Every structure is written in C-alpha cells, then in structure tokens.
Chain A
Amino acid sequence: MTISFEGRDIISIKDLTRDDILTVLRIAKQLKEKPQPTLLKNHVLATLFFEPSTRTRLSFETAMKRLGGTVIGFADANVSSASKGETLYDSIRIIGNYADVIAMRHPLEGAARRAAEATIKPILNGGDGANQHPTQTLLDLFTIHETQHKLKNLHIALVGDLKYGRTVHSLAQSMVHFPCHLHLVAPESLAMPVHIVHDLKKNHISFSLHHTFENILPKLDILYMTRIQKERFSDLLEYEREKNTYVITAAMLTGVKKNLRILHPLPRVNEIHPSVDETPYAYYFEQAENGVFVRQALLALVLGKLS
C-alpha cells in the first residue's frame, strides 16, 4: 500500500515500503525521460548542510532548479546559527517558515528525525552521521533497475568497507524488498555488521561472504565497489596486505556477464582503476547523475506535484 507522499519526510530507507520505493523509481524515470522545467515554479528548497558535502548539496540544488524551483541555504555549519549554539530544533523551526521543503545533512545521527519534529515542511535526509542517506540508496536502486531492468534475483556484490559504509548497509537492508543474492566481499576487520547480517537472515535473503571477488566476477550482474580507508583498519599490516585485493582493473573484466555494471557511491580513491572507465561495464558516473533524477522525484512527490 502506498500512502500519499505529499508532506512526507524522507528520513530513513526503513520508512519506505516496497511500493514507496517503486513509486520514487517510476517518477524518477519519468522525469529523466521527460523533464518538467516548471513543475516546482514558486517553490523554495532550503539546503541545510551542517556538515559539508558539495556533491550531495549540488545534486539537491540541481534537482530543484531543473524543476523550476529556487534554493536557499548554507554549505557548512560555520555560517549557520548552529555555530552560535542554536539548537537544531530552533534552526529548523525558523527555516521551516521560509522554505517549502528542506534537504539537510548533519554530522549527528538522528538529526534529520529530530529536525522533522520542528516543522511540518517535508525533510529530505541527505545524510545524518553514519546513520542514513536514503537518497543514495534510492539512486542506487534506480541505477540497478535502469541497467538490469529488474530489481529481483540479481547477483550483487558489495565490495570493500562493509563495516562503516552506510551506503552498503542501506542497500543491503533494501534487499528485504527485492530479494537478490548478495556477495559480501570485505576484509575480516571490515565485515558487514552482525545486526545487518541478522536482518538478511531473518528476511531469508540469500548471501555469501567472501574475502576476494575475482572468482565471483563471472556470476555478477552488479559489482558495487566502495572506498577502503586506511584509517579504518585497526591493523595497518592488514591494510598493506589487503589494499590491492579490493581494486578492480579492466584486465579483470574478461569473462564477465555482458550485463555486468560497476557502481560506486563516489568519490573513488583507487578501488576502481581508471582503465575500467572505458569499458562498457563502468556505470558510476551515470549513477551519480541519476541522483539528480531521484532527488527531483522526491521533491515533486513530497510537494504533492506528482504521484
């Protein structure tokens, strides 16, 4: 069942039903195919970035402007009243009176949920600490659907830092709605957290654990790479030993399925060698572009302009 999106907050991927997700993907596809440059004319989006993230902020702002709306906001907390000690609640309460919809990022977990209590205007969570970043998950799902024409029964590998990467956590959790086989590829010390593995088991999602991915490449429909940061390793020897295990190069891509697509939430460091960019399997730049369409869809939906 789908509840109307109008006025809704998009805080956590867990708040969205399967039908909700499919609605967002459908509208995003519609807007990608047929732009609506005046749909949100006379509407104001506030982008409140209490923690800087140029890419996510620009993506939200582009989405709003491509629909004919205007944007207000700030790009980092030092220029907001938060630096003067104002509570998040007060900031949102006030800005809620200026804007029709708010997209925000905040370093603290639960900040978007708290912000939603301060205003009746819809809040779009653009990341709250290590917790949620639902628009990223939606654009990942959109991209998987766009490249595979389905969301179910795919072989998806999540590679890299599965312990701290909130992107892969949310994506894995969304598989509850779209059963796929997940190949979880990570070094021992950066393995998928137990509570998520537990969720997968509880929901009968099939998955397998791996330390390397070269041997599973021929099976895959989606290879989802993530950054491995040196500072995440408790054991630097392990880092030195493992750092090249999680790098994909063009040479490794012989014998893969034709429909394989490689995704990455970007920015990449060196886990995708530039030689991959020229192969037909690279899809991470298109994936980033899709973020704009997914955010357009959310803006149009929560403002009640499309359904």
Chain B
Amino acid sequence: MTAQTNNPKEIRVQAIKNGTVIDHLPAGFGLLVIKLLGGMPARKIVTLGTNLKSYARGTKDLIKIEDRELTKNEVDKIALIAPNATINIVRDYRVIKKIKPHLPETIKGAISCPNPRCITNHEAMTTMFHAHTNKKQVAILCHYCEKQFSQEEMVKYI
C-alpha cells in the first residue's frame, strides 16, 4: 500500500479517509471548481491535482476535500463547468456514493452575470440563471437581463 502509484484510482481511494473526491474534471478546471464551491473550506485539507493522467481524455484535474461531503446543491453547481465530472463521497476509505452532477434548471449565486449593464452587477443581490439544454449545448439565461450565454462564456465569471 504505497501512495506512490501511477494508478489514479488508487490514489483516490486510498488517499482520504472521509470526504469528497471530485474526479474527471477537465484539466485546468480544478481551481475554478474550488472557487465555484465558495473557496477553500476553513480547517479542511484540500488537495488539488492538476494535469493528471486520464485514460479517457489524456489529462484531468482532481480535487480531494477531507472531512467534508458535498451537498447535492453543490454537486449540481459543478455541472455548470464540468458536466462530466464524477463526485465520490468517501467514508472510512470507501467510496459510498458516486454522484454525477446534474445541471439544475435554476442556478442561484455562485456566478456573476457577464453583462456589465445587468442590474445584478450594480446592486447587492443574488444572481439567478436558468439553464436550457438544446442538443447537448447548454445555454445559460440571466433571470434579470434576459441575456443568454454559453457555458464557455460563463466559466470566466465564476
């Protein structure tokens, strides 16, 4: 049982006792996901692996958060930027639950509106977006200014 293994699966299962492992993030998206989740949780150990080997797509990012299980709400937020991520809830070194993020119809907070003329960028208030999926393309519509953005555009505003 050595941690110096090249098998990412083993790292994931072995490395944390309790908490959450967010796997299969597109390379370079790890920090964004941490930001999306509201930044680094206080007094928790967070490990970010970036540009790791991935069998499926070459490289990937991976996040391990110890002693914290993500809620359904938080998991769904991840769908906004990484719909193909896998979230593993770990208890006592075992993956007890694997969750696929599911893009919620309404996203509150977490992101700001890319439209500089939007009221949400001028008033202390919570943003709200509606997600529409059309032929696998996700469009994000601001509840307030009614402007529509692509997923790629939104990522810059996390």
Asked whether A and B interact, the reply is yes
Residue of B115, B117, B123, B146 near A114 (CB, 8 A) is: B123
B14 to chain A, nearest CB (A): 48
Interface centre among B115, B118, B119, B146 (most CB of A within 10 A): B119
Question: What B residues does A195 contact at CB under 8 A?
Answer: 148
Residues 3-57 of B contacting A (Cβ, < 8 Å): none
Which chain A residues lie closer than 8 Å to B144 at the CB level? 109-110, 113-114
CB distance from A11 to the nearest CB of B (A): 9
Residues of A within 8 A of B145 (CB): 109-110, 128-129, 131
Query: Within 8 Å CB of B117, what residues of A?
Result: 107-109, 129-130
A59 within 8 A of B: no
Bound Cα distance A88, B118 (Å): 13
* Closest-CB distance, B146 to chain A (whole angstroms): 6
Residue A89, interface by CB 8 Å: yes
Contact A114-B125, Cβ < 8 Å, known A108-B119, A109-B117:
yes
B125 and A108: CB pair below 8 A? no
Interface residues of B in 115-138 (CB under 8 A from A): 115, 117-120, 122-125
Task: Judge whether A268 is part of the interface by a CB distance below 8 angstroms.
Answer: no
A206 within 8 A of partner (CB): no
Please tell me the size bucket of the interface on A.
10 to 19
Is the C-beta of B143 less than 8 angstroms from some C-beta in chain A? yes
A-B contact count (CB 8 A): 49
Which chain A positions have C-beta within 8 A of B122? 108
For window 50-86 of A, CB contacts with B under 8 Å fall at: none
For the complex, is A226 an interface residue (Cβ under 8 Å from B)?
Answer: no
Quick check: A109 and B119 within 8 Å, CB to CB? yes
What is the minimal beta-carbon distance from A91 to any residue of chain B, in angstroms? 11
Task: Check if A109 sits within 8 Å of B147, measured CB to CB.
Answer: yes
Do B124 and A114 touch (CB < 8 A)? no
Interface check A132, CB cutoff 8 A: yes
Closest to A88 in B: B123
Q: Are the CB atoms of B146 and A110 closer together than 8 Å?
A: yes
* A298 within 8 Å of B (CB atoms): no
Give 6 closest A-B pairs by Cβ, nearest first. A110-B144, A109-B145, A110-B145, A110-B119, A108-B119, A111-B119
